[in-house]
Amino acid sequence: MRCAVLGDPVAHSLSPTLHRAGYAALGLDATYDAVRVPAGELAGFVAGLGAEWRGLSVTAPLKREALALADEVSDLAVLAGGANTLVRTASGWLADNTDVPGAVAAIRERHAGALTVATVLGGGATAASVGLALADLGIAQITVAARNPANAAEAVAAVERHPSAPRVVVVPLDEVGATGDAGGVLVSTVPAAAQTDDLVARVLPAAVVFEVTYNEWPTPLVAAALSSGATVVSGMDLLVHQAVLQFGMFTGHDGPLDAMRSAGEAALAAR
C-alpha cells in the first residue's frame, strides 16, 4: 500500500513522520511519502497512480483541485469548500475533509467544558475549517477578525452553510476585543509576526486558546495564554488528530494516536 502527502511546498510536512509511525506501531506494510505537486497538476498526478495507491493527504494549494477531480465528494468537503483527503474506493477517488473533525477532536481533548462564543483571528481557508469545527461544537457566535474583512467572505460563507450555523460577525483585526474566559474560544490562524503586544493584550482573556501553527512555538499569543491560565490547543494537536482520521480511512485500522503524536513532537523538536 502506498500513500503520500501532496502540495507545494511540501518538503516541510510532518505528515510522513506521523503516518509512518502509525504503520510501524501496527506492523503495516505501507509507505508514505511527501510529493511536490504544483497548482494545476493534481488531476494529472492522480490519473497516473497505480492500484497500489490507497490514500493521499492534500495540502495547499491543491484542496479545491481535489474536490474537482474526485469521483465522490463528502458533504463535509463540499461544506468546507476543499478536501484535504483523497481515498481510493471501488468507484474511484473519494474527496473528504479531516481538518474539521480533527479540530473538534483537538479542542475536546484539551477542554471538555461548555463553549459558547469564539473569536477567530484571520479569515482565510484555515479559518473556514476552524469555523465549521466551532459550529460542530455548538458555538453560538463567532467573531472573525481579519486584516481585510472583505477577504473573510469565503470563510464566513462556509460557516453560514453549516446546518447549525452560529451568528458570524466580521471585524477588522485592529478592532477585535477579548473573547472572555467564560466559555470563550480564541483561535489564531495568523502568523506569529502578526501577534503584536497590542493585539495579544486586546484578545485575551479566553477560556481556550487554539493556536493552529506548530512552528515558532510558543507564539506570543500562546505565551500570554499560558501565563493567564487558559487552556491551550496547539497546531500539533490538530495535525495529529486529522492524521489519525486519515490513517483510518487509508488503512482500515484505528490510528495509534499516542505513537503518531510522539513521533511528530520528536521530529518538530529536532528541527
Residue 208 near residue 226, CB atoms below 8 Å: no
In the predicted structure, residue 96 carries a pLDDT above the cut 80: yes
Count of domains forming the chain: 2
Same domain, 127 and 86: no
Which sequence positions are flagged as catalytic?
Answer: 63
CATH code of the domain containing 173: 3.40.50.720
Show the domain range for 170.
101-229
In the predicted structure, residue 180 carries a pLDDT above the cut 90: no
Q: What is the mean pLDDT of the chain?
A: 97
Same domain, 68 and 112: no
pLDDT value at residue 229: 94
pLDDT value at residue 261: 98
Please give the Cα distance from 187 to 160 (Å, whole number).
18
pLDDT value at residue 12: 94
Same domain, 105 and 225: yes
Sign of CA dihedral 44, 45, 46, 48: positive
Average pLDDT of span 238-257 = 99
In the predicted structure, residue 56 carries a pLDDT above the cut 90: yes
SS3 65: helix
Nearest to 157 by CA among 118, 116, 124, 187: 124
Residue 77 near residue 83, CB atoms below 8 Å: yes
Same domain, 116 and 81: no
Average pLDDT of span 2-25 = 98
In percent, the amount of the chain with pLDDT more than 70 equals 100
Q: Looking up cell 479542542, which residue turns up?
A: 107
pLDDT value at residue 225: 97
pLDDT value at residue 182: 80
Same domain, 91 and 182: no
CATH code of the domain containing 16: 3.40.50.10860
User: Between 257-269 and 235-251, two packed helices, what is the crossing angle to 10 degrees?
Assistant: 130
pLDDT value at residue 224: 98
Please give the Cα distance from 78 to 68 (Å, whole number).
10
Same domain, 179 and 212: yes
pLDDT value at residue 141: 97
In percent, the amount of the chain with pLDDT more than 90 equals 96
Residue 176 near residue 203, CB atoms below 8 Å: yes
Same domain, 152 and 194: yes
More confident residue, 75 or 180: 75
pLDDT value at residue 181: 76
In the predicted structure, residue 192 carries a pLDDT above the cut 80: yes
Alpha-helical runs (H) found in the chain: 15-26, 42-47, 63-69, 75-80, 99-110, 125-136, 153-160, 197-203, 220-228, 235-251, 257-269
219 phi and psi angles, rounded to 5 deg: -70, 165
Task: Provide the whole-model pTM.
Answer: 0.96
Same domain, 205 and 251: no
Confidence of residue 162 (pLDDT cuts 50, 70, 90): very high
Same domain, 107 and 120: yes
Same domain, 50 and 109: no
86 phi and psi angles, rounded to 5 deg: -125, 125
Confidence of residue 244 (pLDDT cuts 50, 70, 90): very high
Q: What is the dihedral of CA 224, 145, 181, 220, to 10 degrees?
A: -10
Pairing of strands 167-172, 231-234: unpaired
Same domain, 138 and 201: yes
Nearest to 199 by CA among 105, 122, 271: 122
Confidence of residue 179 (pLDDT cuts 50, 70, 90): confident
pLDDT value at residue 230: 95
Average pLDDT of span 217-226 = 97
Confidence of residue 215 (pLDDT cuts 50, 70, 90): confident
